[in-house]
């Protein structure tokens, strides 16, 4: 297939979707701009620049290949979504490989005229050469640098300890001796700043924190309208978190609440989630309200009302409080504005 203006337009559309994806990483404050989450585009560009800078002093590495790997390493997340490295939900992590494999397959189907791109993605995923392993390890270091520059804001927001960082990162950066040396330097800096990490009761997440996480997850959905849900037990442990995928999966009931309930049931080994709270970016529909009730979820906290999001949809006229009143188990329902 010959290159054409239309394909350049198609590529720009793809990259705009990529830039829409936000990572679970709050950027440090910079002049004139408020704190916000890093996008996949920003992460990939930063990774590419760092790889280029480091590779110039590593003659055994092909710098051009490093740049290609860095630019495309997360591109399949357009369809797979971002997976937070410190996510405690087994359901989210266990589906990561399948989601990303499907994402790569969709890119290959859509871009038969850009095999260099999809081959680079697959080469990175296989860690088939020193360059892919170098970029893979550097990819694990870059968020640590952002967390250092933000003085641990993200670590505190998500209750992450220094031991958590070591547990997640150590084996991954070890695939590249060059990056492992930099990682050890970073760890030494972190050890000198224990205040950057969560380690006390004050770091427990609030309702607002969990709801903000649900809102973040809603932005990872590739469906027309995204919805994110986090289910937490009475002790604050995350049982499940996910986003809706009805359109992506072609399954009508793949609302975020339904998927989260199923994941939480699997994790706990019980159909009853007594004492749990469901944090929903959007007010649950009748199907999801009933499902949360059947699962014995005690509290439902949401941000956006259906009526505000879909004023012309007859289903938005549902009175959720009246609906819950007719169920055998009646969860507490509360709207919470995370911006307040």
What does the angle CA 32 – CA 33 – CA 34 come to, to the nearest 5 degrees? 135
Q: Which two tokens stand for residue 77?
A: 């997340």
SS3 assignment for 135-183: HHHHHHHHHHHHHHHCCCHHHHHCCCCHHHHHHHHHHHHCCCHHHHHHH
- Residue pair 280/300 in contact by the 8 Å Cβ criterion: yes
Neighbours of 98 (CB within 10 A): 10
Q: Which two tokens stand for residue 291?
A: 């499902």
Residue of 22, 100, 178, 257 marked catalytic: 257
Neighbours of 255 (CB within 10 A): 25
Closest by CA to 270, choosing from 289, 295, 290, is 295
Return the DSSP state at 317.
G
Q: Is 257 an annotated catalytic residue?
A: yes
Which active-site residues does the annotation give? 257
């Amino acid at each position: 297939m010959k290159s054409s203006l239309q394909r350049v337009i198609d590529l720009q559309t793809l990259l705009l979707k990529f830039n829409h994806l936000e990572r679970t990483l709050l950027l440090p404050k910079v002049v004139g701009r408020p704190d916000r989450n890093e996008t996949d585009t920003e992460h990939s560009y930063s990774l590419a620049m760092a790889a280029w800078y480091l590779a110039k002093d590593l003659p055994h590495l092909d710098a051009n290949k490093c740049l290609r790997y860095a630019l495309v390493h997360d591109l399949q997340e357009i369809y797979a979504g971002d997976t937070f490295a410190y996510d405690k939900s087994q359901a989210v992590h266990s589906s990561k490989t399948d989601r990303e494999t499907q994402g790569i397959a969709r890119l290959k189907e859509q871009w038969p005229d850009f095999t260099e791109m999809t081959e680079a993605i697959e080469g990175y995923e296989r860690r088939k050469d020193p360059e892919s392993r170098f970029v893979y390890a550097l990819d694990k270091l870059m968020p640590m640098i952002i967390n250092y520059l933000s003085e641990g804001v993200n670590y505190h927001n998500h209750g992450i300890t220094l031991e958590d960082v070591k547990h997640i990162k150590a084996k991954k950066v070890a695939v590249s001796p060059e990056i492992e040396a930099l990682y050890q330097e970073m760890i030494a800096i972190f050890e000198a700043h224990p205040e950057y990490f969560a380690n006390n009761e004050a770091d427990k997440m609030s309702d607002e924190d969990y709801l903000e996480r649900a809102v973040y997850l809603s932005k990872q959905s590739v469906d027309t309208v995204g919805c994110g849900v986090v289910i937490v037990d009475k002790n604050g442990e995350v049982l499940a978190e996910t986003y809706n995928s009805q359109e992506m999966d072609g399954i009508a009931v793949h609302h975020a609440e339904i998927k989260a309930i199923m994941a939480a049931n699997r994790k706990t080994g019980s159909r009853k989630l007594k004492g749990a709270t469901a944090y929903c970016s959007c007010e649950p529909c009748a199907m999801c309200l009933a499902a949360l009730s059947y699962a014995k979820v005690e509290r439902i906290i949401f941000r956006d009302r259906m009526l505000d999001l879909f004023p012309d949809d007859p289903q938005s006229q549902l009175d959720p409080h009246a609906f819950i009143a007719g169920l055998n188990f009646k969860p507490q329902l509360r709207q919470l504005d995370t911006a307040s």
